[in-house]
Structure 1
Amino acid sequence: MEILLAKSAGFCFGVKRATQMAFDASDNFKSLQSLGPLIHSPQMVKKLEDRGIRVCQRVEDADGEAIVVRSHGVTAGEFVELQGSGKTIIDATCPFVTKAQKYAAELSRDGYLLVIVGEAHHPEVQGIVSYASGEVAVIASAEEAGELPKSRKIGVIAQTTQSFENFRAIVGVCLDKSRQLKIHNTICDATSVRQEEAVSIAGQVDLMLVVGGYNSANTTRLANLCRDKGTATYHVETAGEIDRRWFEGVSRVGLTAGASTPQFLIDEIMEILRTF
Structure 2
Amino acid sequence: MRVEVARNAGFCFGVTKAVQTAYGHTGESHVHTLGPLIHNEEVIKDLKDKGIDIVEEDKIEELTDKDTVIIRSHGVAKSVYDRLEKTGAKVLDSTCPFVLKIHRIVREASAAGKVVLIIGNEGHAEVEGIKGWCSGEYHVIGSIEAAEAFEYAESDKEICVVSQTTFNYKTFKSIVEILGRKLYNIVVSNTICNATEVRQNEAKELAACCDAMIVVGGRSSSNTQKLYEICAGECSDTYFIQSAKDIDSDTLERLKKVEHIGITAGASTPKNIIQEVFDICQI
Alpha carbons 2:2, 2:259 under 8 Å: kept: yes
| 2:269 match | 261
Aligned to 1:131: 133
Q: Which segments of structure 1 move beyond 3 Å, counting only runs of 4 or more?
A: 61-64
2:50, 2:73 → 1: CA distance?
18
Amino acid at match of 2:48: E
Aligned AA (1:51): K
Pick the aligned partner of 1:83 from 82, 85, 96: 85
Residue 225, structure 1, aligned to residue 226, structure 2: no
2-side partners of 1:203 and 1:187: how far apart? 23
TM-score scaled by structure 1? Answer: 0.95
Task: Compute the displacement of 1:26 (Å).
Answer: 3.0
Question: What SS does the aligned partner of 2:196 have?
Answer: helix
Distance 2:62 2:273 in 1: 31
- Deviation (angstroms), 1:231: 2.9
Change (3 A) 1:156 1:93: same
- C-alpha distance in structure 1 between counterparts of 2:63 and 2:268, whole Å: 24
The match for 2:185 among 159, 180, 199 is 180
Unmatched segments (≥5 aa) in structure 1: none
Judging changes above 3 Å, is the alpha-carbon distance between structure 1 residues 210 and 254 closer, same or farther for their aligned structure 2 residues? same
Look up the SS of the partner of 2:273 in the other structure. helix
Correspondences of 1:64-213 after superposition (within 5 Å) = 65-150=67-152, 151-152=154-155, 153-213=158-218
Counterpart code for 1:146: E
Where in structure 2 are the equivalents of 1:9-28 lying within 5 Å? Answer: 9-26=9-26
State the alpha-carbon separation in 2 of the partners of residues 142 and 110 from structure 1: 28
TM-score (norm 2): 0.93
Shifted more, 242-251 versus 257-266: the winner is 242-251
Does 2:258 align with 1:250?
Answer: yes
Report the alpha carbon displacement of residue 187 of structure 1 after superposing the two structures with TM: 0.6
CA RMSD after TM alignment = 1.4
How far the C-alpha of 1:265 sits from its partner, in A, is 0.7
Distance 2:222 2:107 in 1: 24
Q: How many residues align?
A: 274
How many angstroms does 1:109 deviate by?
A: 2.0
Residue 106 of structure 1: CA displacement?
1.6
Amino acid at match of 1:38: L
Identity between Structure 1 and Structure 2 (%): 38
Contact 1:72 1:93 in 2 (8 A): yes
Name the SS of the counterpart of 2:205 in structure 1.
helix
